[in-house]
Amino acid sequence: MPIHLIIDGYNLLGARGGLHGDVETRREALIRELAGYRQRKGLPVTVVFDGWRSGASTQQAEWREGIEVVYSRKGEQADAVVKRLAEKYGSGCAVVSSDHEVGNAARAHGSTVMTSGEFETRMHMSGTRPAARKQEADDEDDVRRSRDPKKKGNPKKLPKNLRKKANQLKKF
């Protein structure tokens, strides 16, 4: 079963340069980009937007271009919806949010968590030519821990927690 990708929509838009200007146009452009990403990767995608200021009295969901678009109900922030979805899917999902509280709640349920910036990079890498992706992956592998004479083991090997996260994120 593929990993379900849950995205904090306005958080991702904020990572792209803030929520200035025509937010509705930027939101629609994001939905189109996520639909393309879903097609390339074959992952189920849910993007959650705040509806708490002017939304409906109940949570609204719709399918657009193959992805589920969810708007939180009036009085509820998207963070609460993302946390609920992370609890529902557990280790079967990955949560995209730079919000520490959301990330910690998702990790507590076994979800993989990546920041909006990390996901933005991966989303754009998935649309590039294979040779360019290989070069970018090689560049990532060049990030190694510095040599500390007191530490034993392979100095070129990433620490275990970073290797685990890198393996989890390979799917994206």
> Does residue 106 sit in the same domain as residue 142?
no
Residue 126 in domain: no
Closest CA relative to residue 123, chosen from 68, 41, 19: 41
What is the DSSP pairing of strand 112-114 with strand 45-49?
unpaired
> Does residue 36 sit in the same domain as residue 108?
yes
> Does residue 9 sit in the same domain as residue 43?
yes
Please tell me the total count of domains within the chain: 2
| Last-in-domain residue among 86, 103, 121 | 121
Q: Cβ distance 152 to 43 under 8 Å?
A: no
> Does residue 36 sit in the same domain as residue 84?
yes
**What is the side-by-side order of every strand in the sheet holding 67-71?**
60-64, 67-71, 45-49, 4-8, 93-96, 112-114
CATH number at residue 92: 3.40.50
Question: What confidence tier does 56 reach under pLDDT thresholds 50, 70, 90?
Answer: low
> Does residue 136 sit in the same domain as residue 96?
no
Residue 135 has pLDDT above 60, yes or no: no
Residue 145 has pLDDT above 50, yes or no: no
Mean pLDDT of 22-51: 90
> Does residue 163 sit in the same domain as residue 94?
no
> Does residue 26 sit in the same domain as residue 109?
yes
Query: What is the percent of the chain with per-residue pLDDT over 70, rounded to a whole number?
Result: 73
Residue given tokens 């799917």 in the structure block: 171
Q: Which domain holds residue 137?
A: 131-169
Weakest mean pLDDT among 25-39, 71-85, 128-142:
128-142
> Does residue 89 sit in the same domain as residue 158?
no
Residue 62 has pLDDT above 50, yes or no: yes
Question: What confidence tier does 144 reach under pLDDT thresholds 50, 70, 90?
Answer: very low
Residue 149 in domain: yes
